[in-house]
């Protein structure tokens, strides 16, 4: 979260707290990091430029209760080079819970095979492409966010698509990001014959080096290792801002910075939201930030019908991941801003209602009542006996699922994910004896 807010506020004065190194231009050689020294008698390390308290904004924190999820995206540079409509090359879902002072970073692999709302199943990185090509409301960024929302079953109301140059400039203006490498790595910076080897150890990476680091796929883990490196840089940026107390200065220049970056960042967050979110998210302690890469333990490798190499999600493990990272504040967390009835209607989830209770007509009575509430019930019938109601999810429909789980009182232990793009129903509800004995229906 700090990254999203800070990127908006990157063109601060060059009189920042400095390490005793200087970068003349982006892409200068990496210099070994030295610890900051703020002693007054040390001429090599200038002190921070004081800004009078009265001149600093005093942003209100995020509203203090609602979890907020932001999808951060980077686009495929190869598509740009070839003049094609781009796909996403990087998708990272950031989440922040201001009530519990926790945060999470979830990296989503680009080859994940998912349902794209309004389209068929495809690699998740094509959602942005489809949103742009078909000129959908909010474009590719909005469709990508909606796709992640349906895949994970959590609301994703906000998105931020950051271009390469905005990222590079921001890292340079905080005078680099300090990273520790366990082994040497070859980085391919933008431009011709620009490869460089970085030795193991702790170094400060200027913008072009940091960009090359988050883009490289070197290593046995390929995209999974790259996702881990991207998270390392996000945490490194957070630490850099905190280490040198840069946030007040970044916020002080926020309106000017917001204007400067309008061409480099596409987001539906307002300036006020960015400031409040960044200010609050920086209060989260490092040990309270979950870092998750949807890697080999969450997927199986397969082929699509047209022979593409794809990653198929393992539904039960994805559900456990979701509940672990987003589980506070309810089964799915709060829904996105807007009328829940409208959101449920837009999903048009195909719901089957099966009766396992002692009441013989409960499936008919419940189905009719569900329809009155705006749900799309497509099938109803008796089934095997059940004491507690259960929900089976075949295609992610987060708003319908949340309404059903809350209304029926179904906990995560009785929600089962069986990912099947060819299933006749998106959600199957099994009604149990508890629902027959205690329900709000007239």
Segment 393-413, tens digit of pLDDT: 888 787 888 899 999 999 877
pLDDT of residue 397: 81
Residue 384 confidence (pLDDT): 92
Q: Is 219 exposed, middle or buried (0-12, 13-18, 19+ CB in 10 A)?
A: middle
* CA pair distance 253, 340, nearest whole angstrom: 37
pLDDT-derived band of residue 61, with 50, 70 and 90 as boundaries? low
Mean model confidence pLDDT for the chain = 81
Contacts of 370 (CB under 8 A, 6+ apart): 351, 353, 377
- The number of C-alpha atoms within 13 Å of 386 and in the hemisphere containing its C-beta is 20
H-state helical runs in 187-304: 207-215, 223-243, 247-252, 254-260, 271-281
**Residue 10 — very low, low, confident or very high, per pLDDT cuts 50/70/90?**
very low
Q: How many CB atoms lie within 10 A of CB 292?
A: 18
Strand partners, 266: 161
Q: What is the pLDDT of residues 105-137, one digit of tens each?
A: 999 999 999 989 889 899 999 999 999 999 999
Question: Quick one: how far is CA 254 from the chain centroid?
Answer: 23
- The four Cα atoms 195, 200, 203, 205 give a dihedral, to 10 degrees, of 30
Report the percent of the chain where pLDDT is more than 70: 80
Lowest mean pLDDT among 26-35, 162-171, 182-191, 265-274: 26-35
pLDDT at 358: 95
Beta bridge partners, 299, equal 313
Domain with CATH 3.40.630.190 in the chain: 1-336
Q: What share of the chain is helix, strand, coil (3-state, %, to 5)?
A: 35, 20, 40
Q: Which CATH number does the domain 340-437 belong to among 3.40.50.300, 3.20.20.80, 3.30.70.2390, 3.30.70.3040?
A: 3.30.70.2390
- Average pLDDT rounded to a whole number, residues 203-215: 94
Q: Does 8 have pLDDT greater than 90?
A: no
> What is the Rg, in whole angstroms, of the alpha carbon atoms belonging to the chain?
24
Q: Which of 302-311, 396-405, 423-432 has the lowest mean pLDDT?
A: 396-405
CATH class of 1-336: alpha beta
- pLDDT for position 278: 83
């Amino acid at each position: 979260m700090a990254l999203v807010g800070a990127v908006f506020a990157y063109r601060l004065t060059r009189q920042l707290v400095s390490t005793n190194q200087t970068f003349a231009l982006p892409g200068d050689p990496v210099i070994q990091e030295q610890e900051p020294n703020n002693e007054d008698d040390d001429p090599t390390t200038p002190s921070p430029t004081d800004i009078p308290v009265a001149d600093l904004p005093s942003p209100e924190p995020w509203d203090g209760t609602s979890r907020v999820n932001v999808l951060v995206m980077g686009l495929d540079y190869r598509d740009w080079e070839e003049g094609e409509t781009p796909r996403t090359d990087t998708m990272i879902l950031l989440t922040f819970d201001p009530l519990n002072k926790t945060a999470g970073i979830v990296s989503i692999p680009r080859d994940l095979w998912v349902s794209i709302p309004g389209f068929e199943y495809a690699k998740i990185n094509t959602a942005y492409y489809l949103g742009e090509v078909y000129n959908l409301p909010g474009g590719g960024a909005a469709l990508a966010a909606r796709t992640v929302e349906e895949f994970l079953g959590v609301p994703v109301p906000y998105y931020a698509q950051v271009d390469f140059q905005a990222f590079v400039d921001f890292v340079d203006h905080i005078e680099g990001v300090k990273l520790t490498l366990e082994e040497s790595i070859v980085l391919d910076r933008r431009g011709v014959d620009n490869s460089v080897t970085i030795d193991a150890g702790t170094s400060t990476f200027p913008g072009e080096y940091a960009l090359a680091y988050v883009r490289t796929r070197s290593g046995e883990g390929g995209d999974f290792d790259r996702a881990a490196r991207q998270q390392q840089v996000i945490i490194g940026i957070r630490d850099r801002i905190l280490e040198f107390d840069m946030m007040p200065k970044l916020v002080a220049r926020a309106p000017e910075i917001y204007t400067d970056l309008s061409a480099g960042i596409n987001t539906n967050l307002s300036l006020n939201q960015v400031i409040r979110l960044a200010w609050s998210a920086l209060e989260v302690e490092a040990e309270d930030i979950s870092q998750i890469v949807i890697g080999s333990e969450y997927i199986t490798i397969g082929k699509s019908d047209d022979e593409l190499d794809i990653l198929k999600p393992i539904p039960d493990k994805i559900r456990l991941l979701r509940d672990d990272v987003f589980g506070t504040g309810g089964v799915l967390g709060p829904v996105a801003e807007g009328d829940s009835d409208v959101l449920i209607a837009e999903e048009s989830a195909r719901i089957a209602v099966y009766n396992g209770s002692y009441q013989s007509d409960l499936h008919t009575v419940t189905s009719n009542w569900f329809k009155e509430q705006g749900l799309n019930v497509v099938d109803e019938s008796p089934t095997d006996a059940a004491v507690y109601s259960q929900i089976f999810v075949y295609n992610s429909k987060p708003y319908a699922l949340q309404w059903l789980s809350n209304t029926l009182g179904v906990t995560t232990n009785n929600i089962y994910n069986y990912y099947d793009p060819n299933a006749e129903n998106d959600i199957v509800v099994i009604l149990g004896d508890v629902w027959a004995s205690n329900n709000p229906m007239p």
